[in-house]
Amino acid sequence: MIELPEAYVLSDQINQTLVGRTIVNAEANTHPHAFAWYTGDPADYRAKLAGKKIRGTNPQGHSCNNVKIICEDMLLVISTPIRYHETDAKLPKSHQLLLEFEDKSHMSCTVQMWGVMFCYPADESCRHDGFVCSKKPSPYMDIFDEGYFDDLWQSVKPGLSVKEFLTTKQRISGLGNGVLQDILWNAGIHPRRKLSTFTETEREKLFQSLKQTLFAMRNQGGRNTERDLFGQPGGYRTILSSKTMKNPCPVCNSAIIRESYLGGNIYYCPVCQPV
């Protein structure tokens, strides 16, 4: 799946590269994946998309961890990595969605863990029953200010951990476990910290870190743990991730801890992020 910064990066690149191209063929579920989801019969994707021109991305904003591609009267909603392949470029051996354009270039999606590749009318009249995209504002929007963040904070039980608050129930759509690590490290906050233990100053620091870290990830082309439309890693160098866990904390030189918590790994410095 992709997270918020990469959704923005991919959307911008699709707007710059694919808008105006006509789809001449579409293949879905050619290589079945247990955790790939479609709308209706994937065999119908060709009939739904062939002859349609890409008009743009994300007609409803970037509030989810997916990319919405407008194909005239059809909409593709994709939450898995997207790649563009120039004419005559080697295509992936396994893919769950493949679009061919009139110049023989392609766009592919290959599911890593899980992902949706929905295709339905742009008016959403046949949207997948189980798919709900949050209409809440993105942290990249001005309306997502400190007052909005405080309202979110007050709406939950104080016994929640900060990881649970930030990454579950779509309170902040598109903010997942991947981007969480650097947000908390920059704020000096342990992922297991209970909201009830925060001072007002710490809450303000968390809000500032959330905004600043996400903007840095987006502005630098996504994280270096993820790849963009052209298969290139993002320019944002993660501080805490699987790429860096063997490195000491860049501030205090302590060993970074990795633990399993709430369905994913958390990374933290035990000195700079005390529990």
Query: The CATH number of the domain where 209 resides is what?
Result: 1.10.8.50
251 with 153, same domain: the answer is yes
Residue 212 belongs to a domain: yes
Percentage of residues in the chain with pLDDT exceeding 90?
87
- Per-residue pLDDT of 145-155, as tens digits, reads 999 999 999 99
74 and 39 belong to one structural domain: yes
Residue 273 forms part of a structural domain: no
User: 121, 138, 158 — which closes off a domain?
Assistant: 121
Write the pLDDT tens digit of every residue in 66-114.
Answer: 899 999 999 999 999 999 999 999 999 999 999 999 999 999 999 988 8
Residues 103, 151 within the same domain = no
pLDDT of residue 170: 85
Task: For residue 106, give the DSSP letter.
Answer: E
Position 65 scores a pLDDT of 76
CATH number (domain holding residue 24): 3.20.190.10
Same domain flag for 69 and 181: no
- CA–CA dist 244, 268 (Å, integer): 11
Residues 101 and 180 in one domain: no
Q: Quote the tokens at residue 214.
A: 């996400």
Q: Is there a single domain that holds both residue 31 and residue 98?
A: yes
For the entire predicted model, the pTM comes to 0.92
Same domain, residue pair 96 and 157: no
> Does 131 score more than 70 pLDDT?
no
Question: Strands 115-121 and 36-37: what pairing?
Answer: parallel
Range of the domain at 234: 146-268
Nearest-angstrom CA–CA distance, 75 and 4: 19
CB 9 within 8 A of CB 219: no
Residue whose entry in the numeric block shows the structure tokens 């501030």: 251
In the predicted model, what is the mean pLDDT of the chain? Answer: 93
- Is 59 among the domain residues? yes
Strand order in the sheet with 115-121: 36-37, 115-121, 74-78, 67-71, 54-57
Contact present, 80 and 1 (Cβ < 8 Å): yes
Residue 126's pLDDT is 53
Instruction: Give the per-residue pLDDT at 173.
Output: 84
Q: Is the pLDDT of residue 64 over 70?
A: no
266 falls in which pLDDT band (50, 70, 90)?
very high
Q: Lowest mean pLDDT: which of 54-63, 127-136, 188-197, 221-230?
A: 127-136
User: Which residue in the block uniquely carries the two structure tokens 């009830």?
Assistant: 196
9, part of any domain: yes
**Lowest-pLDDT range, 29-43, 59-73, 146-160?**
59-73
Task: Judge whether 130 lies within some domain.
Answer: no
Domain shared by 153 and 226, yes or no: yes
Evaluate whether residue 226 is within a structural domain. yes
Domain match, 116 and 175 both? no
Q: Give domain status of residue 138, yes or no.
A: no
Q: What is the pLDDT of residue 193?
A: 98
Query: Whole-angstrom Cα distance, residue 245 to residue 256?
Result: 6
Number of separate domains in the chain? 2
Q: What is the pLDDT of residues 164-179, one digit of tens each?
A: 999 999 899 889 999 9
pLDDT of the residue at 174: 86
| Sign of the C-alpha dihedral computed for residues 236, 238, 242 and 244 taken in this order | positive
Residue 28 has a CB neighbour count (10 Å cut-off) of 24
State whether 193 and 101 are in the same domain.
Answer: no
